[in-house]
Amino acid sequence: MPWTMTLRVKKAEPPGNIDSMILAVSHLFRLIASLKVAIPLIVVTVVVTIIGSLQPDTDYYRTWWYLGLLGLNGLSLLFITILHLPSILVKKGRNALIGVVVTHAGILILVAGAIYGGVSSFRYEVKAIEGEMTVVPGLPFVIQLDRLDIEDYPQDVIARMNPSGLLKKKQDSHFSLFKNGEQWQSFVARPGTPAKIDGITILPALNDIGWYFELIVTDPRGTENTIPVKPWSPPIIKMGDTQIMAHGLMETGRPGVQLLTLDDGQVKPLGTISRGQSLEVKGGSIALGDVRRYTGLFIYNRPQTPILVLGCLAILFGLLWHFYHRHRERGRGATGDGQNV
């Protein structure tokens, strides 16, 4: 009996989910790595960066969409580099490849540093009052301004200086930091000489200094109320139907306060008070209480700085490597031509 053989041919099955995903990822890779996507991304990034530099909002460069735009630029550059590595190696050689890779890596490091800084860095502008604790959300410590030492230049020196650029001869801010309710560190900072604590910079403002004071307000029934007056947020005091504002007169050598009233939308002087001299208003009185100094503070951190420096150095090294070897290869080519002739 002859042997018989049966062949069974298995029909090709359609690609599964894995194959579809591979095709989609490959298509996305080539799309992002194309100049048709990279160039518009760069143009849009440049335009919004210029617009952001004209905006007063300091959080502009920390928005999710701006950081996402930077991330897309970095991803596009990364994919372009990977896609063109083989052709660069074949056409231009290993030295050219090193220069391109290091330069592109430096740009990617800059992008990563900018994104990291946008996510993790912060900047606050606060006021610190002598003898009070200043709580800044997110800081691992509480700041207390113990004392503010201010010394002006002599009058003959002031007369020769430009009033618009008039600075203090001395402006020392003595601080204490508290953690878990206990004093942790003490230091002195001044404009131009900040303090750096665990990567956080504390810098006193140059011209944002002044006086904080309290008013002792006694109503017609004899009830006293202490009202703090902060120059950056002055309150309106009500005595009956009279609205009163206060303006400090602290530069005269004797602490004093000028009281102003609002009458039909117009500001009119009501009188002045000083130590031991109160003012009767609508059956009550207003007296000067505690007087202290305050200073503005800039509190910030820049954890991305080392990353940005590393990126700049990588770009510089890559460019120098590329142009050095390019010039060297051209010189070799010219020498070889001369010998052949």
Q: Is 126 helix (H, G, I), strand (E, B) or coil?
A: strand
Q: How far is CA 4 from CA 8, 9, 10, 76, in A?
A: 13, 16, 20, 60
Q: Is the pLDDT of residue 341 over 50?
A: no
Mean pLDDT score of the chain, rounded to an integer?
84
Neighbours of 96 (CB within 10 A): 17
Mean pLDDT, residues 5-33: 67
**C-alpha angle 252-253-254 in degrees, rounded to nearest 5:** 90
**Phi, psi values for residue 143, rounded to 5°:** -100, 135
DSSP 164: G
Q: What is the pLDDT of residues 157-171, one digit of tens each?
A: 555 655 545 577 889
- Report the pLDDT value the prediction gives residue 340, as an integer from 0 to 100: 41
End-to-end CA distance of the chain: 84
Q: What sign for the dihedral angle of Cα 312, 314, 318, 321?
A: positive
CB 171 within 8 A of CB 149: yes
Task: Choose between 167 and 314: higher pLDDT.
Answer: 314
Q: Is the pLDDT of residue 327 over 80?
A: no
Q: Is the pLDDT of residue 189 over 70?
A: yes
Q: Is the pLDDT of residue 339 over 50?
A: no
- Report the pLDDT value the prediction gives residue 71, as an integer from 0 to 100: 93
Q: Is the pLDDT of residue 276 over 60?
A: yes
Alpha helices in 214-271 (DSSP H): none
Rounded to whole angstroms, the Cα distance separating 292 from 130 reads 6
Q: What is the pLDDT of residues 288-303, one digit of tens each?
A: 999 999 999 999 999 9
Q: Is the pLDDT of residue 55 over 50?
A: yes
**C-alpha angle 130-134-135 in degrees, rounded to nearest 5:** 170
Mean pLDDT, residues 39-43: 89
Task: Choose between 203 and 138: higher pLDDT.
Answer: 203
Q: How confident is the model at residue 1 (pLDDT cuts 50, 70, 90)?
A: very low
- Report the pLDDT value the prediction gives residue 155, as an integer from 0 to 100: 65
- Report the pLDDT value the prediction gives residue 61, as an integer from 0 to 100: 84
